[in-house]
């Protein structure tokens, strides 16, 4: 099952989010025992969701709103970290 997300492929200020096992971006954010993580739809691997602010380099926290996850750093920067596929 493949859905086109090309229209979201505009320049993003935040670092790339990818599966640490296979490099896939076919991910969805899930919440588990150890906090948010990224579940890979290609290899089934889990990658900890550890957003880092591109503006100040500090680790950020995720908050969920529906399928959208927003990262907020201690410096007050916010950005759209990830949107889960429908
Ligand atoms: Zn993977
Ligand atoms: Zn920041």
Residue keyed to tokens 């971006």: 25
Ligand nearest to the CA of 46: 1
Answer yes or no: is 10 within a domain: no
Predicted local distance difference test score (pLDDT) of residue 12? 45
What's the pTM value of the predicted model, to 2 decimals?
A: 0.77
Below-50 pLDDT ranges, the chain:
4-12
Predicted local distance difference test score (pLDDT) of residue 76? 96
Q: How many domains does the chain have?
A: 1
- Please give the residue range of the domain that contains residue 46: 16-83
Predicted local distance difference test score (pLDDT) of residue 5? 47
Answer yes or no: is 42 within a domain: yes
- Ligand 1 centroid–CA 41 distance in Å is 7
Answer yes or no: is 32 within a domain: yes
- Ligand 1 centroid–CA 39 distance in Å is 8
pLDDT tens digits, one per residue of 37-59: 999 999 999 999 999 999 999 99
Answer yes or no: is 8 within a domain: no
Answer yes or no: is 69 within a domain: yes
Helix (H, G, I), strand (E, B) or coil at 27: strand
């Amino acid at each position: 099952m493949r859905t086109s997300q090309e229209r979201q492929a505009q320049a993003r200020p935040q670092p790339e989010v990818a599966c640490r096992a296979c490099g896939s971006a076919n991910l969805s954010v899930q919440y588990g025992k150890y906090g948010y993580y990224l579940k890979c739809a290609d290899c089934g691997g889990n990658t900890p969701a550890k957003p880092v602010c591109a503006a100040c380099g500090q680790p950020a926290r995720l908050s969920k709103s529906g399928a959208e996850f927003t990262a907020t750093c201690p410096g007050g920067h916010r950005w759209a970290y990830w949107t889960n596929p429908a």
